[in-house]
C-alpha cells in the first residue's frame, strides 16, 4: 500500500505538476485510474487534497548495480566487488574467495544489469609472464574472448585471453596524447594492441610500436587497419633488439613491472631533449624514490642529465602500492 491523492481526472495533470513542484510526488509508484478519478502517488499528505492509502503499482526502476539483484545470501553482499573492468562487451571481475561458489550468480546479475555486456569472466590469476596476460575463467554469457573496445575516439580489437589490455589507463593515454606534438617520432616500447600508438598516431609524424607477444602485433595490425592509420610501424620482437636502431622524440615505457630493466634501451633510443614516459609500481610511503634513483644512475652512464617534467599516481595497484608515471626529459651533454 502507498499514499495517494484522489483527484478528478480532469484536474489530474495540473495537480501532478503541482505535486512535483512542491516535492510531494512519489515517482516510485504509478498513477492509478479509478473511474473518473486518478490516484496520484505522494510522499506525504498534502493539505487541501484527499489523501488515501491505495494499492499502487511500483514503477519498474532498472537497478543501477548488479549488487541490487544478485542472488546471494544478504550477509555476503558486503563482500561483492564494487567495480569490474569492461572491455568492449566483456566484463572481467575479481571475485573474493568467500564468494567463489556464487560466481555464476554474480556473472548472471552483471549480464542482467549491463545490457551491453555479452560475456563475463573472473580473474583466474594475476597479470603474469612476459606477455603480461592473466588467466580468465568464464562465468556467464557467451563463451568469447575477442571484442572491440572503444576509447579516446579509437577502436581496439583484442582478445582478452591473449593480450594485455586495461581500460583503466584511458585517461592516462589521453594525457600522453595531449602532451605529444605534431612532427614527433614516437617509440612505444611495449605497445600491446596499440592503445597509445594508434591514439598518438593521429597527431604525431610516426610511431614505432614494438611488442614481444605475436598476438599483440596481430591485433595491432588489425587496429591500424580499422582505424585507418598509416603512420604506425609494428615491430614484433624483444625491444632490446630494436633499441638504438631508431631515435625518437618521445618514448613510452608501459611495462610497469619491469620498466626499470629497460632504461638503457630507452636512453639508447631517445633524441637529445626527448621525453620519456616511464611507468612503475611504488610503495605508498615513497612511490617515486626508487625509480628516480635508477633513472639518474642510468643517465650518468650516458653522460646525460634528466629533468623531471611530471610525476603522478595513476591508480592503486595493490594494498599500499601505486602504479606511478614519471615524465622526464633527457639532455645529453
Ligand atoms: C603492460 S603491457 C602494456 C601494453 C599497452 N601499452 C597497453 O597500454 O595496453 C606490456 C606489454 O609489453 C610487452 N613486452 C614485455 N616484454 C617485452 C619486451 N622485452 N620487448 C617488447 N615487448 C615486451 C608485453 O607483451 C605486453 O604486451
Q: What is the CATH number of the domain that holds 77?
A: 3.30.300.110
Domain limits at 86? 66-144
* Total number of domains constituting the chain: 3
Same domain, 266 and 312: yes
Asked if 131 and 163 touch (Cβ cutoff 8 Å), the reply is yes
Measured from the Cβ of residue 130, the count of other Cβ atoms closer than 10 Å reads 11
Query: In this structure, what C-alpha cell is assigned to residue 138?
Result: 568464464
Per-residue pLDDT averaged across 45-63, rounded?
Answer: 89
Is residue 152 in a domain?
A: no
**Virtual torsion, Cα 170, 171, 172, 175, nearest 10 deg:** 120
Q: Give whole-number Cα distances, 291 to 71, 86, 141, in Å.
A: 46, 31, 42
Is the Cβ atom of 132 under 6 angstroms away from ligand 1? yes
Is the Cβ atom of 215 under 6 angstroms away from ligand 1? no
Checking DSSP bridges between strand 32-34 and strand 37-41, what pairing results, if any? antiparallel
Same domain, 209 and 265: yes
Is residue 173 in a domain?
A: yes
Tell me what pLDDT residue 62 has: 80
pLDDT at 156 over 80: yes
Q: Strand, helix or coil at 45?
A: coil
Same domain, 173 and 322: yes
From 209, 211, 281, give the residue whose CB has the most ligand 1 atoms within 8 Å, as the site to mutate: 211
Q: Strand, helix or coil at 85?
A: strand
Q: Strand, helix or coil at 280?
A: strand
Is the Cβ atom of 192 under 6 angstroms away from ligand 1? yes
Same domain, 20 and 120: no
Q: How far, in Å, from the CA of 220 to the mean position of ligand 1?
A: 12
- Residue 182 contacts by C-beta under 8 Å, 6 or more apart in sequence? 203, 204, 205
Per-residue pLDDT averaged across 33-46, rounded?
Answer: 93
Same domain, 72 and 188: no
Query: In this structure, what C-alpha cell is assigned to residue 293?
Result: 634513483
Same domain, 311 and 190: yes
Is the Cβ atom of 255 under 6 angstroms away from ligand 1? yes
Is residue 154 in a domain?
A: no
Which CATH number goes with the domain that contains 193?
3.40.50.150
Which CATH number goes with the domain that contains 23?
3.30.70.2580
Is the Cβ atom of 323 under 6 angstroms away from ligand 1? no
Q: Strand, helix or coil at 197?
A: helix
Tell me what pLDDT residue 27 has: 87
Q: How far, in Å, from the CA of 192 to the mean position of ligand 1?
A: 5
Is the Cβ atom of 286 under 6 angstroms away from ligand 1? no
Tell me what pLDDT residue 333 has: 82
**Virtual torsion, Cα 89, 92, 93, 99, nearest 10 deg:** 90
Q: What is the largest CA-CA distance in the chain?
A: 91
**DSSP symbol at 31:** -
Of residues 40, 36, 50, 47, the one with CA closest to residue 20: 40
Same domain, 88 and 217: no
Per-residue pLDDT averaged across 169-190, rounded?
Answer: 98
Is residue 211 in a domain?
A: yes
Is residue 157 in a domain?
A: no
pLDDT at 147 over 80: yes
Query: In this structure, what C-alpha cell is assigned to residue 29?
Result: 509508484
Rounded to an integer, what distance in angstroms lies between the CA atom of residue 5 and that of residue 127? Answer: 59
Is the Cβ atom of 238 under 6 angstroms away from ligand 1? yes
Is the Cβ atom of 40 under 6 angstroms away from ligand 1? no
Same domain, 76 and 212: no
Tell me what pLDDT residue 274 has: 98
Q: Of all residues in the chain, what percent carry a pLDDT higher than 90? A: 91
**DSSP symbol at 204:** S
C-alpha neighbours within 13 Å on the C-beta side of residue 84 = 28
Same domain, 48 and 172: no
Q: Of all residues in the chain, what percent carry a pLDDT higher than 70? A: 100
Q: Strand, helix or coil at 161?
A: coil
pLDDT digit string (tens) for 202-213?
999 999 999 999
Rounded to an integer, what distance in angstroms lies between the CA atom of residue 6 and that of residue 18? Answer: 14
Q: Among 144, 177, 195, where does a domain finish?
A: 144
Asked if 311 and 284 touch (Cβ cutoff 8 Å), the reply is no
Same domain, 75 and 108: yes
Average pLDDT for the chain: 96
- Residue 93 contacts by C-beta under 8 Å, 6 or more apart in sequence? 81, 84, 85, 106, 107, 110, 120, 121, 122, 123
Rounded to an integer, what distance in angstroms lies between the CA atom of residue 237 and that of residue 45? Answer: 73
Q: How far, in Å, from the CA of 241 to the mean position of ligand 1?
A: 14
Rounded to an integer, what distance in angstroms lies between the CA atom of residue 170 and that of residue 164? Answer: 14
Nearest CA to ligand 1 atom 16: 130
Is residue 91 in a domain?
A: yes
Tell me what pLDDT residue 318 has: 84
pLDDT digit string (tens) for 275-315?
999 999 999 999 999 999 999 999 999 999 999 999 999 99
Is residue 33 in a domain?
A: yes
**Virtual torsion, Cα 107, 111, 117, 123, nearest 10 deg:** -10
Same domain, 243 and 197: yes
Is residue 28 in a domain?
A: yes
Same domain, 266 and 296: yes
Amino acid at each position: 500500500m502507498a499514499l495517494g491523492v484522489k483527484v478528478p481526472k480532469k484536474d489530474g495533470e495540473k495537480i501532478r505538476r503541482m505535486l512535483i513542484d512542491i516535492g510531494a510526488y512519489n515517482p516510485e509508484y504509478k498513477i492509478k485510474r479509478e473511474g473518473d478519478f486518478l490516484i496520484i502517488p505522494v510522499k506525504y499528505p498534502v493539505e487541501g487534497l484527499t489523501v488515501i492509502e491505495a494499492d499502487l503499482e511500483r514503477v519498474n526502476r532498472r537497478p543501477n548495480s548488479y549488487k541490487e539483484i544478485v542472488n546471494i545470501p544478504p550477509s555476503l553482499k558486503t563482500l561483492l566487488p564494487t567495480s569490474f573492468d569492461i572491455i568492449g562487451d566483456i566484463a572481467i571481475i575479481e571475485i573474493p574467495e568467500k564468494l567463489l561458489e556464487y560466481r555464476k550468480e554474480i556473472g548472471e546479475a552483471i549480464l542482467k544489469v549491463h545490457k551491453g555486456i555479452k560475456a563475463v569472466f573472473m580473474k583466474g590469476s594475476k597479470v603474469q609472464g612476459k606477455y603480461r596476460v592473466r588467466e580468465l575463467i568464464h562465468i556467464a554469457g557467451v563463451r568469447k574472448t575477442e571484442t572491440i573496445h572503444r576509447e579516446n575516439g579509437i577502436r581496439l580489437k583484442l582478445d582478452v585471453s591473449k593480450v594485455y589490455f586495461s581500460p583503466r589507463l584511458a585517461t592516462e593515454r589521453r594525457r600522453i596524447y595531449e602532451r605529444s606534438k605534431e612532427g614527433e617520432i614516437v617509440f612505444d616500447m611495449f605497445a600491446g594492441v596499440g592503445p597509445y600508438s594508434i591514439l598518438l598516431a593521429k597527431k604525431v609524424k610516426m610511431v614505432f610500436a614494438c611488442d614481444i607477444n605475436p598476438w599483440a602485433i596481430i591485433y595491432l595490425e588489425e587496429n591500424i587497419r580499422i582505424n585507418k592509420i598509416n603512420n604506425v610501424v609494428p615491430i614484433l620482437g624483444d625491444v632490446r633488439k630494436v633499441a638504438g636502431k631508431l631515435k625518437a622524440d618521445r618514448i613510452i615505457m608501459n611495462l610497469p613491472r619491469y620498466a626499470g630493466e629497460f632504461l638503457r634501451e630507452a636512453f639508447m633510443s631517445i633524441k637529445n631533449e626527448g621525453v620519456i614516459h616511464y611507468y612503475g609500481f611504488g610503495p605508498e610511503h615513497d612511490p617515486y624514490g626508487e625509480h628516480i634513483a635508477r633513472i639518474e644512475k642510468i643517465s650518468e652512464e650516458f653522460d646525460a642529465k634528466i629533468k623531471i617534467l611530471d610525476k603522478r599516481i595513476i591508480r592503486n595497484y595493490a594494498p599500499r602500492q601505486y602504479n606511478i608515471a614519471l615524465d622526464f626529459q633527457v639532455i645529453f651533454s
